[in-house]
């Protein structure tokens, strides 16, 4: 870390009230080094151009069902079947509040897959806050962590269902929540997303590169602020932070995003 960065971190510049105060409610994370790749069903650009997409995101369950039926293919369903490997598992759709309403795509997708695979759906686990990730910047996604609540049965196996994967933070937080409650998450599937983000598991070299570039002070702050260290980041999150100019930029942007959101 540069001498300039050390001076700023000691109490000026980036040292705002928002950056000093840890989040009151923190997500639970676990390292994802062995987590299997997320199963994606369709290309992002094709899904978002579909005439039913906006209605489905805004709460229309019929539109969501039409959308899902068109893009969930036999090949990807077979990949999920292989991931379940004969285990008695439950599908857990992520219930997320969008600006237009409650996103119905995960529920419609879970229903579709449940019928195809004869797997039950668990709707008791819900996202407990609104994070506004749709169309948001990487720093907004990092600053606004999805939180979850609900009953997790210890020893029960689960597969997460969502509509989109960007940086993978929402999936990571739900995996961490269910794991901390004694559940076992076998994998995850999304309707669409960034192909490179399907790999949630970080590689150790990217974590080492992040630590080497930004130093231990940033990771200490990150752990205090968010409640987990760099080893619990997704691959996309680690890469995003490693590409950021310096540690001060990261802390400034996180703090600014938090202030914009009124947190």
Give domain status of residue 50, yes or no.
yes
If one compares 25 and 148, the residue with the highest pLDDT of the two is 148
Question: Domain of 61?
Answer: 39-196
Using the 8-state DSSP alphabet, how is residue 121 labeled?
Answer: B
CATH value at residue 176: 3.40.50
Give domain status of residue 229, yes or no.
no
Residue 263 pLDDT exceeds 80: no
What's the pLDDT tens digit per position in 176-199? 999 999 999 999 999 999 889 999
Give domain status of residue 146, yes or no.
yes
pLDDT computed for residue 219 by the predictor: 95
Give domain status of residue 12, yes or no.
no
- What is the tally of structural domains in the chain? 1
pLDDT computed for residue 38 by the predictor: 98
CA dihedral 135, 136, 138, 141 (to 10 degrees): -120
Tell me how long the chain is: 263
Percent of the chain with pLDDT over 90: 73
pLDDT computed for residue 22 by the predictor: 60
Give domain status of residue 173, yes or no.
yes
How confident is the model over 201-226, as a mean pLDDT?
93
pLDDT computed for residue 23 by the predictor: 63
Q: Could you tell me the pTM of the whole model?
A: 0.89
How confident is the model over 58-87, as a mean pLDDT?
94
Residue 163 pLDDT exceeds 50: yes
**How high is the mean pLDDT of the chain?**
88
pLDDT computed for residue 198 by the predictor: 95
Give domain status of residue 90, yes or no.
yes
Give domain status of residue 137, yes or no.
yes
Give domain status of residue 49, yes or no.
yes
- DSSP line for 209-240: HHHHHHHHHHHHHHHHHHSS-GGGS-HHHHHH
């Amino acid at each position: 870390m540069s001498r300039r960065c050390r001076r700023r971190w000691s109490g000026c510049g980036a040292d705002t009230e928002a950056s000093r105060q840890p989040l009151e409610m923190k997500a639970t994370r676990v390292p994802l080094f062995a987590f299997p790749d997320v199963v994606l069903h369709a290309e992002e650009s094709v899904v978002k151009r579909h005439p039913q997409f906006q209605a489905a995101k805004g709460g229309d369950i019929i539109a969501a069902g039409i959308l899902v039926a068109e893009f969930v293919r036999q090949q990807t369903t077979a990949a999920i079947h292989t991931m379940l490997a004969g285990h008695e598992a439950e599908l857990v759709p992520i219930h997320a509040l969008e600006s237009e309403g409650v996103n119905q795509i995960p529920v419609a997708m879970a229903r579709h897959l449940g019928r195809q695979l004869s797997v039950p759906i668990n709707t008791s686990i819900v996202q407990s806050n609104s994070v506004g990730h749709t169309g948001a910047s990487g720093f907004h996604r990092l600053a606004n962590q999805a939180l979850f609540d609900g009953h997790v049965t210890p020893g029960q196996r689960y597969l997460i269902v969502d509509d989109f994967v960007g940086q993978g933070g929402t999936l990571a937080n739900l995996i961490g929540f269910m794991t901390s409650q004694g559940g076992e998450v076998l994998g995850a599937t999304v309707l669409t997303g960034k192909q490179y983000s399907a790999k949630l598991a970080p590689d150790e070299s990217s974590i080492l590169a992040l630590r080497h570039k930004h130093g231990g002070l940033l990771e200490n702050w990150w752990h205090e602020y968010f409640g987990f260290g760099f080893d619990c980041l997704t691959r996309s999150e680690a890469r995003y932070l490693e590409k950021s100019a310096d540690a001060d930029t990261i802390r400034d942007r996180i703090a600014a995003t938090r202030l914009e959101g009124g947190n």
